[in-house]
Each structure stands twice: as C-alpha cells, then as structure tokens.
A and B are shown apart, each in its own frame.
Chain A
Amino acid sequence: ETGVTQTPRHLVMGMTNKKSLKCEQHLGHNAMYWYKQSAKKPLELMFVYNFKEQTENNSVPSRFSPECPNSSHLFLHLHTLQPEDSALYLCASSQVLGTNGGETQYFGPGTRLLVL
C-alpha cells in the first residue's frame, strides 16, 4: 500500500450505531488530519494530530471522537450521529517542519458516510 488509505470507503449507519473510520499513511509523515466535505461546501478541518498529539479541534461535536495511536494511524470514532453528519470524510497527512507551515497535505480517498 502506498500513500494514504482509508477504510471503509462507504458506510451507512443508523443514528444509534457506533462505528469507526480508519486512516493509515505510508509516507512517513508526522501529522494527520480529519476533514469533512459536505455537498457544495469547502473542506472543513475537523482535527489535527501532530506527533500523535491533538493540536487542533475545530469545534467538532463530541459525537466525533478521534484517536491517533501512532503517527501512521488515525481513527474517527462515530456515535449517535445525526443525518446532517452525512458527508465525505477525508484523512490527510503531511510532514510538518515546525516552522510556518508550507507543507503539502496528501489525502486519502475518503469515506462516504450516510446517516439514516
């Protein structure tokens, strides 16, 4: 496997279900990100992990719970979601150099989530 992979690619869940999205990066990067893309909206940053530490939580509801056990893996645990949470969830990684940004993020293919 190369690049950034995400599983599952598609997920349908009820509002009372608990599920997890998985992301794995094979690029040796030290930062990982979760984004949400809803129809006709820009990509919205949800969480940032840098060196396994969460450095940003962009006012995301607690029904979304990230986990980063190591610099290569990132999870997004979902519980009691709402239909408006249906979207494409994208994972990305980058090599943060610790200065003023300027790093390129590389994205996985995304998980298309439908909440019924």
Chain B
Amino acid sequence: DQQVKQNSPSLSVQEGRISILNCDYTNSMFDYFLWYKKYPAEGPTFLISISSIKDKNEDGRFTVFLNKSAKHLSLHIVPSQPGDSAVYFCAASVPSSNTGKLIFGQGTTLQVKP
C-alpha cells in the first residue's frame, strides 16, 4: 500500500512556462510535506516544505499548495528553467515521537525544454 503517490512519471514543459507537479496521499495523519529535487548521480536536495496547518508556502519560483480535504499537494515552478530538469519527489512526515520518518512518492521526471 503506497501512502504517497505521484501518478505522473514524467512531465515536459517549455522554458518560461509553469511546471505543476502533483502528489496524492492517503494518510490523513500526515502533518508535514516536503518536495525534493534529484539530479542523476546525486542525492535528493530539499526544495520546499509545508506544514499541514497551512495551504500554501512560497519560496522564490517555487510554491507548494496543500489541499487537505483532497489529500493532494502540488509544486508549482514558475518560470521554469532548463536547470530545473530533474526528478522531483514529494514526501510526507509520519507523525511519531522520535523518528522523523518520511514516506516518499515514486518521483516525477521534469524536463524543461529551452
């Protein structure tokens, strides 16, 4: 049972346009959500996060939206740049006392075309 799902394995957008990456989850107890970016041969790099008490968090070109009733979050990148081409993972934090455990989606490969 996969608790965090990224149903689109890949996405291609034109440079300068908006990229929207989606993520769905099943556990309503998740309280913290993160997006990571991963280039080939590197580890995931933290991008942006959002607490379940918010519905939007913005950092420069990156905005994460959270819709708790739909158990859905999305990452908007605008304007998209060729350097944004990477695999994007969403992750959810398991509410527990001591582990900081994260559950990851399968990832979406974003390609930004010049």
Chain A residues near B (Cβ < 8 Å): 4, 6, 31, 40-43, 45, 48, 50, 55-56, 90, 92, 94, 96, 98-110, 112
Chain B at the A interface: SS class: loop
Judge whether B93 is part of the interface by a CB distance below 8 angstroms: yes
**Pairs A–B under 8 Å by Cβ, sample size 8:** A31-B99, A48-B101, A96-B98, A100-B97, A101-B100, A104-B49, A105-B100, A105-B102
Question: Contacts of A100 on B, CB cut-off 8 Å?
Answer: 31-32, 93, 95-97
Asked if A102 and B93 sit within 8 Å, CB to CB, the answer is yes
Asked if B31 and A48 sit within 8 Å, CB to CB, the answer is no
Q: How many residues of B contact A (CB 8 A)?
A: 30
**In the bound complex, CA of A89 to CA of B25 (Å):** 25
Chain B residues near A (Cβ < 8 Å): 2, 4, 31-32, 34, 36, 41-46, 49, 51, 89, 93-107
Question: Contacts of B100 on A, CB cut-off 8 Å?
Answer: 31, 48, 50, 94, 96, 101, 103, 105
Which chain B residue shows the least CB distance to A51?
Answer: B98
